[in-house]
Chain A
């Protein structure tokens, strides 16, 4: 069965430090897509980064990079140089057929 697992309910990081948010997935489909979204307390889900299962290189978008390890079925999000505004809930998600399956989320808190 298709499944996304985020094992860290909460993470703390100091401003300007890097942080890694873990995500593992399970699927038997060779074609899939992996996404990370940020949800601040305001509620909006903000798209951060995407990795396709056939992409050879790890995706990067500004301070966000996705550490894609296909054999280990992991798609960890790395945020470099954390900022106070990065404090939010982060969801990993996977496309399965025509749907998005979400993990349970990790709450990141950035402190000065």
Chain B
């Protein structure tokens, strides 16, 4: 089973709202990722967690705040977003960090976010 789930599927929020995106996997993977994808573009890496510790932050604005409460769960907290943050947010997981062995990333279905 290579399933990564994400909720919600769609989210509309105002610029003053606070919301959270949730990602879950039960494959025993120890690396989890957040990507942002604009229309007709490839995904862009935002954050990487390895063994529940933040490993990579790709200079993402502080209005995006990741959290990894346990090895199966990854959250992305959103606050004071801008309309240009509207995008598809994809979560992925891999057995371990890339470059350390089994490295295929499996993606969830994504959350389509619209910021008004």
A42 to B9, CA, bound (A): 10
B-side binding surface: helix, strand, loop or mixed? loop
Q: Which residue of A lies closest to B106 (CB)?
A: A47
B103 touches A45 (CB 8 A): no
A15 to B56, CA, bound (A): 42
A100 touches B45 (CB 8 A): yes
A47 touches B48 (CB 8 A): no
Give the residues in chain B near A100, CB-CB below 8 Å: 45, 98, 105
Give the residues in chain B near A112, CB-CB below 8 Å: none
Whole-angstrom distance between the Cβ of B107 and the nearest chain A Cβ: 4
Query: Given A98-B48, A105-B42, A47–B107 Cβ distance below 8 Å?
Result: yes
Residues of B within 8 A of A (CB): 2, 40-43, 45, 48, 55-56, 88, 90, 92, 97-100, 103-110, 112
